[in-house]
Structure 1
């Protein structure tokens, strides 16, 4: 095989390895962030490789609420199992270190969501959600008067969802 073909194979295997190492389906944005922060592949090639891996049925998108997340298929897992040794040890080490340092942030991005939309009468509907192991913990919808309030609620939820969840839970179960 020529140099370009080997590099192409290694890069695609690397993408499969990243998704397998995280152990959760991730968004295209998260995968892109990991790859670009480590300077593995440029953005345009990355998007091409993702499309090709999906077309080859090594990766697939799954719908998770309003998000599309990339998941490793059984076929992709088998390919990775047989050809993982074609990924340089240096890249594997970089990915392992990166993921171990940031796995909590990645999981939080996947399980804690907040957004807002313009509702009737110039109010905003804020949706705060927490999911753990595919189980919905809380899905709170609140109507607020201003965009500033909507942004503030979303920000606070993202910063400390477990504390807010626990406070809501305590208020609801205490007499």
Structure 2
């Protein structure tokens, strides 16, 4: 019923290994299944079988971490992947890289920041702070400050630590604690 030919099976297992190799963070069994189902139209039960077979063959290991099963690529998995990686098509590699926001070499695509000031007629300054990923604005905030010195300080802080400020703002907005 779920029969695949051996070449397809090998390519799908290589894809699983490749995803583990390029993922910027360890993946759980659930997360890798979700990625393979959503992006490569694979069957859940087949994925679980591949994970089991790759684990039994010492290509990956399964580590329990806070009630989650994380998949870790073993040295033999890396060696096999290095040897057979040419069997994975460029289009599949590109798709995997886009899933993890990686460039063509597998390096993370940097998040870009923008900080622009707009003087207002009343002497105040509007500052627009942006985060841009892959050409798309994912965060934009306008703040009005009383003078150019504060605008410059705000822009400098944003450009030096955008992840910190973005995370802090998001946490503040989604925190369930009552506000004043």
Counterpart secondary structure, 2:64: strand
- Structure-2 separation of matches of 1:99 and 1:67: 21
- Structure-1 separation of matches of 2:41 and 2:86: 17
Contact 2:24 2:100 in 1 (8 A): no
Q: Point out where structure 1 has 5 or more consecutive residues left out of the alignment.
A: 104-161, 168-175
The alignment status of 1:55 with 2:56, answered yes or no, reads yes
Contact 1:24 1:71 in 2 (8 A): no
1:38-61 alpha-carbon deviations (Å, 9 max, x no partner)? 134211111111110001010111
Counterpart secondary structure, 2:40: coil
The alignment status of 1:163 with 2:164, answered yes or no, reads no
* 1:48-127 alignment, distance < 5 Å: 48-100=49-101
TM-score scaled by length of structure 1? 0.55
Aligned residue for 2:32? 31
Aligned residue for 1:5? 6
- Structure-2 separation of matches of 1:23 and 1:78: 19
- Structure-1 separation of matches of 2:20 and 2:9: 17
Q: CA deviation at 1:24?
A: 2.7
TM-score scaled by length of structure 2? 0.53
Q: CA deviation at 1:66?
A: 2.9
RMSD, aligned CA: 2.8
Contact 2:36 2:42 in 1 (8 A): yes
- Structure-2 separation of matches of 1:89 and 1:54: 26
Q: Point out where structure 2 has 5 or more consecutive residues left out of the alignment.
A: 103-107, 109-166, 173-180
Based on CA coordinates, which of the two structures has the bigger radius of gyration? 2
- Structure-1 separation of matches of 2:5 and 2:48: 17
Q: How many residues align?
A: 108
- Structure-2 separation of matches of 1:23 and 1:81: 18
Contact 2:28 2:70 in 1 (8 A): yes
Q: CA deviation at 1:12?
A: 0.3
Point out 4+ residue stretches in structure 1 off by more than 3 angstroms: none
